[in-house]
Amino acid sequence: MEIKNGKELLNGLFVIDDNAKCGATSNVIKAHSKFWGKDIAVKYPNEEFMTSNLQDFLKECRIWVELDAHPYIIQCHFAGMIENDTPMLFLEWCNGSSLKEMIDRGTLYEGTVNEQQERILSIAIQSLIGIEYAHKNKIIHKDIKPGNIMVTAEGMAKITDFGSAAAKENSYTTEYCSPEQLLDGIATESSDVFSWAVTCIEMFKGKCGWDTGKEISTYSLGFLLNESSVKYFIRVNVTLPSSMIP
């Protein structure tokens, strides 16, 4: 499905004012809400991506809609089937980029080492607060990763894409999922925290150099953190227990 600039949605309540940004599984496009008087993001999956898991996807997204507004979570205003039965999400607009884009483009590492450290720790703390808020409301994200954390131009981190895991054949991204999630597909609050920790490691490393989260949990964690601590934590002289260093 193609949504072009200028197209109106929901009887003219929303007007598309940008071209779609296409991803591997979904498309995001900027729109203006006449009713709310502000910009929003409209997200819809690629046709080949949404198959038998459509109802699970919509069910989890509607739970996302029920979440009260929170500074560290992208707000979902509406989730449903519109435009020839296309599942669409109407989301809070973020005037920034994803954490994955910041890592890949190197913008996460601008400035001095101290500035980099403060930026990384700020994103880590804010995103974890957002995850904690979701857990307090009985919502497990199931797919925490850099691509599902947005960072505004002002540096505020916001968790997004609740429900995206339900749309996948395997409800996780292997590089970030916990060992138990990889083994039997069961996600818990602890799984989200594990994925968040792997995301933090990637921020310090500057890349994802592993195939599954299990690799980090079994033998790579000490090496990964020890290498990063030399660069980012020299100011506070952080050292790892010898048992964590391979």
Give the residue numbers marked as catalytic: 143
**206: which DSSP letter?**
S
Contact 202, 146 (CB under 8 A): yes
- What number of H helices and E strands is found in the chain? 7, 10
**73: which DSSP letter?**
B
Identify which of 4, 173, 15, 1 has the alpha carbon closest to the alpha carbon of residue 87.
1
β partners of residue 87: 81
Element holding 32 (H helix, E strand): strand 26-33
Q: How many residues are there in the chain?
A: 246
Contact 45, 25 (CB under 8 A): yes
3-state secondary structure of 114: helix
CA distance 166 to 56: 6
- Phi-psi label, residue 148: left if phi above 0, alpha if psi -120 to 50, beta otherwise: alpha
CA distance 171 to 153: 30
